[in-house]
Amino acid sequence: MNTVYDFTAERMDGELQAFSDYTDQVLLIVNTASKCGFTPQFEGLEALYQQYKNKGLVVIGFPCNQFGSQDPGSNDEIGAFCQKNYDVSFPMMAKVEVNGEGAHPIYTWLKAQKGGVLTNGIKWNFTKFLLDRSGQVVARYAPTTKPDAIKKDIERVLASD
């Protein structure tokens, strides 16, 4: 796989999402959790999406229960939580694993493109990957990095062709 556009993932509604549908968009892909200390980042992620979606940014959430069992609910429960508590309108995929043998292929690819500090593995919920319009990873952000802190990088990537 050469770009993110080569992948598909199941959406929360059970339908298959081809990432080729996001061609020429800037993507911010995030593994999320509903019961995590970082869960309030949903608010900042939604704010980024609202601010930049008309310029070509798509935020995509992938719920994951691999870290402290912080997203144990069903896809319907997770979706309802995100909508009710954070008014999330950006695309949310079905729950996945991001590490190990069961890792979703998109996460295996993302980690290979932009490794972590000590390991390529995802260390916790709300690890973020910023991808340019050609479907390539340009940056990886730690869970502690708040969405607002990456605005300048998003603006730079949106402005580049």
| Active site amino acids | 36
Q: How many whole angstroms separate alpha carbon 16 and alpha carbon 20?
A: 12
- β-pair type (16-18, 8-10): antiparallel
CA distance 58 to 89: 10
Structure tokens at 103: 């890792």
**Token reading at 89:** 């309108």
CA-closest candidate to residue 145, choices 155, 130, 157, 159:
130
Indicate the SS3 state at residue 101: coil
For 129, the enclosing helix (H) or strand (E) is strand 128-131
Cα–Cα distance between 78 and 80 in angstroms, integer? 5
Helix (H, G, I), strand (E, B) or coil at 44: helix
